[in-house]
Amino acid sequence: MDLLSSLILGTVEGITEFLPISSTAHLIIVSKYLNIPQTEFLKFFEVFIQSGAILAVVFMYFKYAIKNPEILKKVMVSFIPTAIVGFLLHKVIKEVFFESADLITGSLFFVGLVFILVEYLIKKKTILLNRSLKNMSWIDAALIGLGQSMAVVPGVSRAGIVMLTMMVKGYRRDESAIYSFLLAVPTILAASAYDLLKTDLALILDSNNLPFLLVGFLTSFVTAYVSVTWLIGFLKRKTLVGFGVYRVILSLTLFMV
């Protein structure tokens, strides 16, 4: 890896982490096209730079979280199913799921179609988006967590599946996105901490790797801040159809190359 690669990957992570298009899939795809070998350091790097994106959310929504403690309690309930699934399937996720190009491509395609279908049902008034986070039930919080647990499959998109689950339950798009941001904090921090425990400390303490980690972290922070700000404004005016079409086109492109 070089500094340019770390800059590119940090940018990809920051832009895609909170968009419903799967940051994991994009990092894997970009790494392959940059001919970066799937080493232990790269796996750690990809986890580490997620913390930069998370820091951006903490920076942006700290006051919101403090003013809405009930929502934070619901976030922790939503986190539990994902934590259980992630812990039980950690080895399978890392050694099987992340290595399957067909699984990633298929997930991008299938979830993209679901986006389009759900938006069609909303347009036909079959699904009404008239609920807010302040009236979320504990059962809904648990169901959202179960939905997020499906994101252990790369290509599904953690943010995307959370937003889809909430929209099917009638929550507005922009509020669904905000909840997905808040839920990302314990989810990604826990995953990062668990991966850190399983990482060779020599990779972390090696001074030669520090510049790559720093560049990736800072780039991820800045681009995530911009991405989150843009997405909230976008969802107040637009639908998820564009993201669904993008996912389908990307998956078909990957299938053909």
Can you give the pLDDT at residue 13? 94
- Identify the pLDDT of residue 205: 64
pLDDT of amino acid 203: 63
Residue 19 confidence (pLDDT): 94
Whether the predicted model's global pTM rises above the 0.75 cut: yes
How many structural domains is the chain composed of? 1
Q: Check residue 178 and give its pLDDT.
A: 95
Task: Give the 3-state secondary structure of the chain.
Answer: CCHHHHHHHHHHHHHHCCCCCCHHHHHHHHHHHCCCCCCHHHHHHHHHCHHHHHHHHHHHHHHHHHHCHHHHHHHHHHHHHHHHHHHHCHHHHHHCHHHCHHHHHHHHHHHHHHHHHHHHHHHCCCCCCCECHHHCCHHHHHHHHHHHHHHHCCCCCHHHHHHHHHHHCCECHHHHHHHHHHHHHHHHHHHHHHHHHCCCHHHHHCCCCHHHHHHHHHHHHHHHHHHHHHHHHHHCCCCCHHHHHHHHHHHHHHHHC
Q: What is the pLDDT of residues 89-127, one digit of tens each?
A: 777 776 677 777 888 999 999 999 999 999 999 999 999
Residue range 188-232, pLDDT digits in tens: 888 888 777 776 666 666 778 788 999 999 999 999 999 999 999
Domain limits at 92?
3-256
